[in-house]
């Protein structure tokens, strides 16, 4: 679809408090820019991310949702990201199965030291979502055939 110059994607980034939120802070203190379309929600651990929140975001018009957490093996709570990894894999697969582009959902492991990775990830994700355009799919899902 033609890119609407007025349109700005809505991107929700869930970041775990210990690694990725700190990584985002580091990106900031290193002045590494990424699009303002990305809005971060702080959660204690990636395992706190309920699929409900992602669906809610899509329901309310988000165009992309990304989860960032500690690298597997480095979870502040030992095992949280392992559970998150399974849950997100299954959820993303289900959304894809329902016809929602798998590029609109992503998980990245970003440590507190990886400010550059955080910024690069957000730049890449925002670019992908911008190219995909408005989440027409979910818009359509919301629009029943009468």
Identify the residue among 9, 64, 68, 92 touching another protein (CB under 8 A): 92
Which one, 77 or 133, has the nearer CB to another protein? 77
| Closest distance of CB 137 from another protein, Å | 6
Query: Binding of another protein at residue 71 (CB under 8 A)?
Result: no
Write the interaction track for another protein spanning residues 17-46; mark x where CB under 8 A is met and - where it is not. x---xx-xx-xxx-xxxx-x--xxxxxxx-
Q: In the set 3, 7, 90, 113, which binds another protein (CB under 8 A)?
A: 90
Least CB distance to another protein at residue 127 (A): 15
CA–CA separation, 38 and 82 (whole Å): 25
Phi and psi for 99 in degrees, rounded to 5? 95, 15
Interface residues for another protein in 97-126 (CB under 8 A)?
Answer: 97-103, 105-107, 119
CB of 48 to another protein, least distance (A): 3
Residue in 21, 16, 23, 94 with CA at minimum distance from that of residue 58: 94
Q: What is the DSSP string of 101-134?
A: -GGGEEEEE--TT-HHHHHHHHHHHHHHHHHH-S
Report the run of H or E that residue 15 belongs to, with start and end.
strand 11-16
**CB under 8 Å to 127, separation ≥6 — which residues?**
none
Least Cβ distance, residue 130 to another protein (angstroms) = 15
């Amino acid at each position: 679809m033609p890119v609407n110059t007025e349109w700005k994607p809505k991107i929700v980034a869930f970041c775990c408090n210990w690694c990725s939120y700190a990584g985002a802070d580091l990106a900031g203190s290193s002045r590494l820019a990424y699009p303002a379309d990305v809005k971060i929600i702080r959660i204690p651990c990636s395992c706190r991310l309920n699929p409900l929140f992602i669906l809610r975001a899509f329901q309310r018009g988000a165009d992309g949702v990304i989860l960032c957490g500690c690298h597997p093996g480095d979870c502040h709570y030992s095992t949280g990201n392992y559970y998150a990894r399974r849950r997100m894999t299954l959820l993303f697969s289900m959304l894809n199965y329902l016809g929602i582009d798998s590029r609109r959902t992503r998980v990245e492991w970003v440590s507190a030291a990886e400010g550059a990775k955080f910024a690069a990830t957000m730049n890449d994700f925002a670019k992908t979502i911008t190219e995909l355009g408005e989440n027409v799919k979910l818009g359509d899902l919301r629009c029943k055939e009468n």
